[in-house]
Structure formats: C-alpha cells, structure tokens
C-alpha cells in the first residue's frame, strides 16, 4: 500500500482494531525507503529477474480479489484517455460479447445468494460462476473518478461482473419482499455503511451497529430472480418469493373487489391539505 492510497488506512485500522498493540511497518512512508515511484519498483524487479505482471509500457496497478479487479496508474492517470484493452481481465470488451443473450436465475435466502440456475453453491463458487457469466457478456465494467479518504481524486477502471449481477438481482427481490418504509430507512443507512467500509472502519462499533439493522431488514428477502445478460447489460426480467408483498388482485388494472378506488379521494385530499394551505398563504393580495 502506497502513502497516497486508501489501502494503507484500511489495513492499519483493521490491524489496530484486532491487535491494539501491534507495530505497523509501512515502507512507503519511511524516509529510508529508496523507491519513489512505480517505475523504480519495476526496474528493481527487472534487474533482479523477479517475475511481475507489469512493465514500463503497462505500469497499471492491479488489485484483484474474489469480487472484482481494479486498474489504476499509467495511461489511466489521464482521465481523457480511453482505457486500453489490457485492462479487460474479468470481462470481455462489449464489442466481443456474444450476440445471443443468456438467462440466469439467482436464489436468495434472507438476503444471501445461495444458488445459480437452481444449483446450490458456496459463496466463493457462486461468485466465480457469476463472474464467469457476467464477464462473458461484458457486464459490470465501469470507468470512474473517485475521491480517496485522503482527499485526492483518482481515476480507476473496475470490473465487477458477478457483483453487478448480484446487486441487480438483490434489489429486484427486495422490491417485492420489503416493506416500503423499512426500505426507505435502510436506503438512508446505506451511504453511511458504505463509507464506513470504504474508509476502513469494518471493525468499528458503528458499522456493527448498522449491520444489525441491515440484517434484520433481510429476514423476508427469500426467493428467486431471473435476469437476462446481453452486451454489457443486466436486465431483471422476473422475480418471485414466498414472502412477496406484491398482490396481483390489488394492483390489477381490471375490475376487482379488493380495492375501492373511491377511497383514494379522501387520501389525496388529506395529503394535499398542507399544499393548499401553503398556496393560500402565498396568494398575492388583490
């Protein structure tokens, strides 16, 4: 982790949270550290025949885990330059994606993904399968400029094919399983939660506190979602759940005996009361 990025903060906050008396050695921040750039590191490895995946011509910083891969540095430091083909690792360029769409069905239990196309998979295997499917269809690639925790802006290319599929599927299932007001409150918590994780406060009491609320919101998010993958797109085309709040008999545009449309008159008038009072108060004098 360099002295400019977010990772140094994340690693050290985690280390201190788990072992308060730990001694952290961060070479990049030491005045005795002789390497001042990525080029210095590349030259050092080359001189000592240390095999590395980057070169002077392709000096990208690549961070990869089970969920995604990110690219920074090199030509990407110019936000006007299009990212080169070498930054496609988990996903194909959209021009090379199949001309035929592909359907995938995801199963969830209490908000947790558990199956792909009816086959139960461990979290790791499920993620790999979704990365394969999404990457094949150029799903989940973004080009962004972010503001780091340290304050500086940085341009990055992210490939998250499986995560993109999961996000769309999970949201779709929540739309039929979650109460509206519970979802509204949860959505207000999401930015706070994501900032905590982004800034390295995973083991903080505030993150653990919010986790309890978010976990509780998922108790009925069980069911299946069908998606269509096609040339960089991830379309939700179906969703079902034993806990669905979606009732065709209530929402139908045809004649029904469940909902009396005349009831909407009083509902609208009550909600319009403050608007009418406000309009009258602003009415100019004759």
- In the chain the domains, ranked by start, together with CATH numbers, are 1-57 (no CATH), 66-178+220-264 (3.90.1260.10)
Give the tens place of pLDDT for each residue, 112-163.
999 999 999 999 999 999 999 999 999 999 999 998 888 889 999 999 999 9
On whether the CB atoms of residues 157 and 83 are closer than 8 A, the answer is yes
On whether the CB atoms of residues 56 and 38 are closer than 8 A, the answer is no
* Beta partners for residue 119, in sequence order: 116
Phi, psi of 204 (to 5 degrees): -90, 155
Q: Is 214 helix (H, G, I), strand (E, B) or coil?
A: helix
pLDDT at 262 (0 to 100): 86
pLDDT at 173 (0 to 100): 99
Neighbours of 97 (CB within 10 A): 20
| Cα distance from N-terminal residue to C-terminal residue, the chain | 70
pLDDT at 217 (0 to 100): 97
pLDDT at 36 (0 to 100): 78
% residues pLDDT > 90 (the chain): 68
% residues pLDDT > 70 (the chain): 94
| pLDDT over 90 (residue 283) | no
| pLDDT over 60 (residue 263) | yes
- Within the chain, what is the greatest distance between any pair of CA atoms? 89
Give the tens place of pLDDT for each residue, 8-49.
899 999 999 999 999 998 888 888 888 877 788 888 898 999
Q: What is the pLDDT confidence band of residue 240, given thresholds at 50, 70 and 90?
A: very high
Say how far apart CA 182 and CA 159 lie, in whole Å: 31
Q: Token pair of 83, please?
A: 């990212």
Kindly give, in sequence order, each residue whose CB lies less than 8 Å from that of residue 228, ignoring residues fewer than 6 positions away. Answer: 101, 102, 103, 234, 235, 237
In 3D space, the residue among 76, 98, 96 whose CA is nearest the CA of residue 87 turns out to be 76
Kindly give, in sequence order, each residue whose CB lies less than 8 Å from that of residue 170, ignoring residues fewer than 6 positions away. Answer: 108, 111, 113, 221, 225
Overall average pLDDT of the 168-174 stretch? 99
């Amino acid at each position: 982790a360099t002295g400019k990025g977010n990772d140094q903060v994340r690693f050290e906050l985690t280390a201190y949270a788990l072992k308060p008396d730990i001694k952290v050695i961060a070479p990049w921040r030491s005045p005795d550290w002789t390497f001042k750039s990525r080029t210095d590191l590349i030259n050092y490895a080359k001189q000592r025949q240390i095999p590395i995946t980057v070169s002077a011509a392709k000096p990208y910083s690549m961070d990869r885990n089970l969920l995604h891969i990110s690219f920074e540095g090199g030509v990407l430091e110019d936000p006007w330059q299009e990212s080169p083909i070498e930054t496609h690792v988990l996903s194909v360029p959209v021009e090379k994606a199949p001309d035929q769409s592909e359907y995938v069905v995801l199963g969830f239990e209490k908000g947790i993904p558990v199956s792909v196309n009816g086959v139960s998979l461990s979290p790791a295997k499920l993620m790999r399968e979704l990365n394969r499917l999404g990457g094949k269809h150029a799903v989940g690639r973004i080009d962004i400029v972010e503001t780091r925790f340290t304050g500086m802006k940085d341009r990055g290319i992210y490939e998250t094919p499986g995560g993109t599929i999961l996000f769309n599927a999970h949201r779709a299932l929540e739309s039929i399983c979650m109460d509206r007001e519970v979802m509204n409150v949860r959505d207000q918590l999401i930015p706070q939660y994501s900032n905590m994780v982004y800034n390295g406060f995973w083991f903080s009491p505030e993150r653990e506190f919010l986790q309890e609320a978010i976990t509780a919101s998922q108790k009925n998010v069980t069911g299946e979602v069908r998606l269509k993958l096609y040339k960089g797109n991830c379309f939700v085309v179906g969703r079902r759940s034993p806990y669905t709040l979606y009732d065709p008999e209530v929402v139908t545009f045809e004649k029904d005996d469940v909902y009396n449309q005349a009831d909407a008159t009083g509902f609208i008038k009550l909600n319009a009361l403050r608007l009418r009072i406000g309009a009258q108060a602003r009415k100019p004098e004759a």
